[in-house]
A = this chain, B = another copy of it.
Amino acid sequence: MHSSINRRSVLKASLFAGLAGSVMPLSTSGFAQSDARAAIRAAALANREQDIRRIQDWIRLPSIAAEDLNMPEGAEYMAELARSAGFSDVEIVPTDGHPGVFGYMDNGAARTLGIYFMYDVKQFDASEWRSPPTTADFVDVDGWGRAIMGRGAVNQKGPEATFLAALHAMKRAGVTPPVNIALICEGEEEIGSPNFKQVATKPNVLSALKKCEGIFIPASWQGANGEVSLNMGSKGIIELELVASGENWGRGPKGDIHSSLKAMVDSPVWRLVHALNTLVTPDGNTVAIEGWFENVRALSERERELINTAAAASDEAQRKTSLGVTHWIDDLPYNEALQRLAQEPTVNIEGLVAGYTGPGGKTVLPGKAVAKLDLRLVPNQTRAEAERKLRAHLDAEGFADVEMNVSGGYDPTEIAEDSRLVQAQLAAYKAMGVTANLNPRLAGSWPGAVFTAPPVSIPAGHFGIGHGTGAHAPNEYYLIDSTNPKVAGLTDATMGYAEILFQLANVR
């Protein structure tokens, strides 16, 4: 069956070639693409058990950079996953922190696609989960279907393993991927990618990346109506701790002392509270750091239009329910809330830790207080600028002693709508009948700036269908068997990754 020719797909391919102004070679080993797709689907179905086990086994080896848990093991495992999927010259790339992994798949194609993987996952507290976070058991998720639950299921091992499943299926089907693939992986995404640039700028890696049309991280974010967002950029982030301490302040106690002494001894906890209080407006929603908006580019008319379209196409009530939220900031209508999501830089308190944190009370005057913050940045803010301004603000407000310990972060990114990466994604979604909302900017952050900024300078984004949720939260899952006909399960999501390879090969 692999030898039959489907006229329509040949025509379609020619059409695309014509649009591009030149004939693109089809890297499908002699099969027309629709036949190739059928063969790949059949192979994916045949591989299904091993594809599921690949996700589960990977979740069962949690690599957590913040806790230095299974990091060398995670890199080795990542390298083995790459080799097994057909990447050659797979290497573990040492950094000043935890290692990255690089592999290349030369398919003799004219174009090259970059793929970015993270092999680390976020920390978890097993007691908060309905199913253990590292056993990767199947659970039924109301309204969605049967899913694998575990830390990293959707962020990002499930989608990444599904991308690998597409390569395994193509291999089994005897279909050579129509583009070359450069795979670059890191193990420090969840701590702000402090050393990832070292991986991307290693000479052979840089050279491979620079050949790419663009790069994406596999992602599975279909909503209940099957819609996806096509992100044309993402916010940047800085993660840091602000620390007020008697030690550094020279006032208050160095350690915890009896709380009755508050009447004669200053409190580093109150100092932290007052320092924090200067960072945002009283509603907690607008950054009040001096000069913060100086380089913020307002959303364009086109960007606002795109967001309004996306808002209209998505299910606000469902989203509110899934987030446990009843009102957006300022009771904004959904489209304006989504505009705010895209355009507003934020200062968020991830965590507060001071003094006694157990059950009941303990009458101490603590010697130290810590706020864990993440700051989201928008174009044209930069991480360096933001760090400098936060420090200057604290100093100017009289909090020079409040320490600022930055653990990681990256700049915001932008991709041109007319780039091949975006156009190939649009074509792939269209071919699959998936509504793709062009999203000017992902509110989440990822180290895309490593790719979009010099010296790599290629478009970078997210791509994939399928569904999962619970990133950074308990009960994270990745859908395997979808009961919603609009939403892809594992096999359709696998086919999505085959589709993007074909589209990138062919797009104008």
Contacts and interface: CB of A to CB of B under 8 A. Distances in A.
Given A261-B443, A326-B250, A277 B274 contact: yes
27 contacts: A66-B361, A123-B358, A123-B360, A190-B362, A239-B361, A250-B326, A250-B327, A253-B324, A253-B325, A257-B473, A261-B341, A262-B346, A262-B348, A263-B341, A263-B443, A269-B284, A273-B273, A274-B277, A274-B284, A277-B277, A350-B356, A350-B361, A350-B364, A352-B352, A352-B354, A353-B353, A362-B372
Contacts of A444: 258, 260
A338 B338 CA distance: 55
Nearest to A272: B352
Contact of A273 (B277, B328, B345, B372): B277
Contact of A266 (B240, B259, B327, B443): B327
B253 A362 contact: no
Contacts of A280: 270
Interface in A260-309: 260-267, 269-271, 273-274, 276-277, 280, 282-285
Interface string A319-334: 0000111111100100
A374 interface: yes
B472 A258 contact: yes
Task: Tell me the number of copies of this protein.
Answer: 2
The bracket for how many chain A residues form the interface is: 35 or more
B66 A349 contact: no
A354 B356 contact: no
Contacts of A285: 266-267, 270
A369 B348 CA distance: 13
Contacts of A349: 267, 269-270, 273, 354-355, 366, 369
A21 interface: no
Nearest to A365: B348
B261 A323 contact: yes
Given A66-B361, A361-B66, A265 B407 contact: no
A171 interface: no
B363 A259 contact: no
A346 B266 CA distance: 11
Contacts of A327: 250-251, 266
A283 B252 CA distance: 11
Contacts of A365: 348, 350
A344 interface: yes
Contacts of A360: 65-67, 123, 191, 407
A168 interface: no
A343 to B, nearest CB: 8
